[in-house]
Structure 1
Amino acid sequence: MIGGGGDGTVWTDVDGSLLEGGGQILRNSAAYSVIFNRPVRVFNIRAKRKNPGLAAQHLASLQLVADVCGASDGFEGGYVGSCQIGLRPSKLEGGSFEADPGTAGSISLMIQASLPTLLFAGGETHLTLQGGTDVSFSPSVNYLAEALFPRLRQMGASVDMQVVKRGLFPKGGGKVKLQVQPLKEPLRPIELNGAFEGIDASSGRLRGGPSALTEVSVRVFGAGNSDVVAEAESAKHSAIERCGEKLQRGEWVLGEGVGDWGSVKLSGQVDRLIPGQSVQKGVTGTGVDITVKRADGSVYHSCIPTDRKERVGDTVLKAADALDECLGGSNGRCPTGTGGYATVDEHLQDQLILPMALANGRSRMLSGPPTLHTQTAIHIASLFTSAKFTIRAIGAEAEYQDLSCRGLHVIECDGIGFSTSSENPGGIAASATSSASGVS
């Protein structure tokens, strides 16, 4: 095993095959390791995947994290296919860093791996990242800009992103620049209650909300010749039509104060990506991004690049239907609907777990059922911190006549209030070995 030479290092060992069993375990474990300056070993990396071990994108993410904390010499097992890694963090400084997996590996996931650490760096940090900006099995950079970054700023983070060039599968070639300022105080807790006011003790019904749905925006990119751009234009119109149908039929809950679906702002645009300029030369493809907003500030985002083996129309349907759980009620097609009360979508749900664990106080969000990614993020948080998570299935507890919300959950976290001056950071003894654990 890595680090087994009896040099006195006290490791936190993490089983990479548990729960979600993918790259998220690596990213979160490495982030906590660097933030708390605690050596970590991850074994059984991506054991449940078709191709286990580190892929180029995971390796680039980990190498980036090692670079920003001065641990390049303390990063073991860093090669494609490795099923075990060890990371001995050093001093976390600011500066300028670059990462490029040489593939269409997700830039968004590289940002998710490194951003938590950069918030606690010794100075301002600039990243230049290359790879894929809009690729399958990861959020797009639009998701970061529209959904994740605004919530992190609400918690006190200062992060700015510039998309220089888009990167699509299979060539990648995208380029993104990120600027992060270090925190001067602990992250603030975040309250994402929307208009929800609790459950009435006498009637058992939900009180307040859901908040008014105000805006649906569709953004489609097309990279390639005029035929591809025409395909993107068609996808834009199809997506707007599909979203309009969901509003008109009541599949997406309009919320309080919205008398008619026609009062919701529906808009769309096509971004033409010119090969050799705004995207890698020789790349063709399309993708659909849908962003939905409510009056309380809730943002929901769905992004799906088109698989060239399927029709663009099918991609449109997938992108719109992916939002049914957080925007709609429970029904035969979507039994886990939240009645429109959810304040986060399924992706933001798990991405907020780490900052909530570090925040100074109690955070809360309304969501659909905890995803496997969310359960994994909570498990990793329990290995490194004393943050306490509570999950309550309030939709199942409530009796609601007009609209079913059986999938509605409240996820709460009492964070540790971490800062770089914290004593006993995390509140957990350094020696730990992972095992699947639950929450109250």
Structure 2
Amino acid sequence: MIIIDGSEGEGGGQVVRNACALSLVTGKAVRIENVRAKRSKPGLMRQHVTAVEAARVIGNAECEGLNVGSSALSFTPGRVVPGEYRFAVGTAGSTGLVLQTVLMPLLLADAPSRLVLEGGTHNMLAPPFDFIAKCFLPVINRMGPKVEARLIRHGFYPRGGGRIEVDISPAPLRPINCLERGSLIGVSGQALFAGLPFEIAEREINIVRRDLGWSEREACVRELPEDQGPGNILLLEVQFEHGTEIVSGFGQLGVTAERVSKKAVGRMSGFLESNAFVGPYLADQLLLPFALAGGGSFTTVKPSQHSLTAIDVIGRFLDRQLGFTQQPGGTHVLTVR
């Protein structure tokens, strides 16, 4: 059994998700101690329990310590069975993080699967649905499998109630190289809001137009049905020839619309100034599929602690060498050997 100290490195829930996914793929049992030890509320939260439960169900696994607040988890995998599954987080916990946990095992299964995931679709500290659908899955589809995701209903914190559906047609993951993003094709910005005053979103989008120079056609406000709120997210999207990047900012109590927008604009400006294929969050998500493909490379910005921790967890399960090499222009190249 592989033993992982969850307090090492980044010390968050990503360790749990990656470990369970890798356990199902490799057939190796794992025990994680000091789960999420570096978080303000250590231990498993509801969305982590749902993610591990989803992995347990699709992989006929045995679990010990699978409850909210648990600081230790043991996961012994069985055989992954593709099929139709529905998992509900039960709160506004992220559906995207549940998908991350089960996607790779189902991609490598021997038959298609369909997932219905209910909970949060646009959460802080998690990839929003738009990011998964437009940034992450197109890269996965280039690697061989076919994954289609649909947003049925938005779900914001704290209400949740969102729903996404995902169709997975498995295939072996093949190595690809994502080194050049190509020419800029287009930009767009949306300030989504539901059950909140219009002027919050309007103030956010005004900052985008002013600081990024995007037109009214390129940056707009979109109101969602009131019963899908209260919630607010700012989505900034840039499309290149070979890939898309989305930067998000979440409205929060006590944080001005201007501050939310300026932070997102700053991150987008930094990405546009680089020539990296992917940003830091997409780099995190691509490490596992690239490792499972056994090769490939991509360019990114400075690697995060998240990425370095993910590489360490991957190394416990797979005989792969993943590493970042800084380039003269400031970008970093991830290679898998």
CA distance, structure 1, for counterparts of residue 218 and residue 257 of structure 2 = 19
Tell which deviates more after alignment, 95-104 or 26-35. Answer: 95-104
CA distance, structure 1, for counterparts of residue 217 and residue 213 of structure 2 = 8
Work out which of the residue numbers 308, 312, 332 in structure 2 matches 1:379: 312
Tell which deviates more after alignment, 129-138 or 212-221. Answer: 212-221
Give the equivalent residue in structure 2 for 1:51: 41
Q: How does 1:75-114 map to 2 (within 5 A)?
A: 75-114=63-102
- The percent identity for this pair of structures is 30
The answer to whether the Cα contact below 8 Å between 1:215 and 1:266 also exists between their aligned partners in 2 is: no
The answer to whether the Cα contact below 8 Å between 2:46 and 2:93 also exists between their aligned partners in 1 is: yes
Paired letter, 2:231: G
Give the equivalent residue in structure 1 for 2:9: 19
Paired letter, 1:193: L
CA distance, structure 2, for counterparts of residue 105 and residue 46 of structure 1 = 16
Aligned residues: 337
User: How much has 1:233 moved relative to structure 2?
Assistant: 3.5
**Which has more helix, going by share of residues?**
2
Give the equivalent residue in structure 1 for 2:128: 140
Give the equivalent residue in structure 2 for 1:410: 333
Work out which of the residue numbers 189, 196, 204 in structure 2 matches 1:235: 204
Q: How does 1:330-341 map to 2 (within 5 A)?
A: 340-341=274-275
Give the equivalent residue in structure 2 for 1:357: 291
CA distance, structure 2, for counterparts of residue 212 and residue 177 of structure 1 = 32
CA distance, structure 1, for counterparts of residue 271 and residue 314 of structure 2 = 25
User: How much has 1:213 moved relative to structure 2?
Assistant: 2.5
Work out which of the residue numbers 60, 77, 92 in structure 2 matches 1:70: 60
User: How much has 1:24 moved relative to structure 2?
Assistant: 0.4
Work out which of the residue numbers 137, 140, 144 in structure 2 matches 1:156: 144
Q: What SS is found at the alignment partner of 1:352?
A: helix
The answer to whether the Cα contact below 8 Å between 1:216 and 1:266 also exists between their aligned partners in 2 is: no
Give the equivalent residue in structure 2 for 1:40: 30
User: How much has 1:212 moved relative to structure 2?
Assistant: 2.8
1:187-234 deviation digits (Å, cap 9, x = unpaired): 111211117xxxxxxxxxxxxxxx432321102211015xx2343244
Paired letter, 1:129: L
Q: What SS is found at the alignment partner of 1:136?
A: coil
1:13-36 deviation digits (Å, cap 9, x = unpaired): 111111011000000000000011
Paired letter, 1:307: Q
The answer to whether the Cα contact below 8 Å between 2:204 and 2:258 also exists between their aligned partners in 1 is: yes
Work out which of the residue numbers 108, 133, 150 in structure 2 matches 1:120: 108
CA distance, structure 1, for counterparts of residue 298 and residue 270 of structure 2 = 15
Paired letter, 2:208: A
Give the equivalent residue in structure 2 for 1:212: 183
User: Is 1:298–2:243 an aligned residue pair?
Assistant: yes
The answer to whether the Cα contact below 8 Å between 2:89 and 2:95 also exists between their aligned partners in 1 is: no
CA distance, structure 2, for counterparts of residue 18 and residue 324 of structure 1 = 32
Give the equivalent residue in structure 2 for 1:177: 165
- When normalised by structure 2's length, the TM-score is 0.95
CA distance, structure 1, for counterparts of residue 66 and residue 86 of structure 2 = 17
- When normalised by structure 1's length, the TM-score is 0.73
CA distance, structure 2, for counterparts of residue 327 and residue 111 of structure 1 = 28
The answer to whether the Cα contact below 8 Å between 1:323 and 1:345 also exists between their aligned partners in 2 is: no
CA distance, structure 2, for counterparts of residue 293 and residue 157 of structure 1 = 22
User: How much has 1:244 moved relative to structure 2?
Assistant: 1.5
Q: What SS is found at the alignment partner of 1:322?
A: helix
CA distance, structure 1, for counterparts of residue 141 and residue 198 of structure 2 = 35
CA distance, structure 2, for counterparts of residue 127 and residue 76 of structure 1 = 25
CA distance, structure 1, for counterparts of residue 243 and residue 164 of structure 2 = 26
Paired letter, 2:286: L
User: How much has 1:266 moved relative to structure 2?
Assistant: 6.6
Q: What SS is found at the alignment partner of 1:342?
A: coil
Work out which of the residue numbers 188, 192, 216 in structure 2 matches 1:221: 192
Give the equivalent residue in structure 1 for 2:279: 345
CA distance, structure 2, for counterparts of residue 391 and residue 136 of structure 1 = 27
Paired letter, 1:192: C
1:237-280 deviation digits (Å, cap 9, x = unpaired): 432332228xxxxxxxxxxxxxxxx9xx971343321133xx2x
Ranges of 4+ aligned residues in structure 1 off by more than 3 Å: none
Work out which of the residue numbers 279, 302, 307 in structure 1 matches 2:252: 307
Paired letter, 2:207: S
User: How much has 1:161 moved relative to structure 2?
Assistant: 1.0
User: How much has 1:370 moved relative to structure 2?
Assistant: 1.2
Work out which of the residue numbers 177, 193, 198 in structure 2 matches 1:191: 177
Q: What SS is found at the alignment partner of 1:323?
A: helix
CA distance, structure 2, for counterparts of residue 410 and residue 380 of structure 1 = 19
**Structure 1 unmatched runs, 5+:** 1-10, 196-210, 246-261, 329-339, 396-404, 415-440
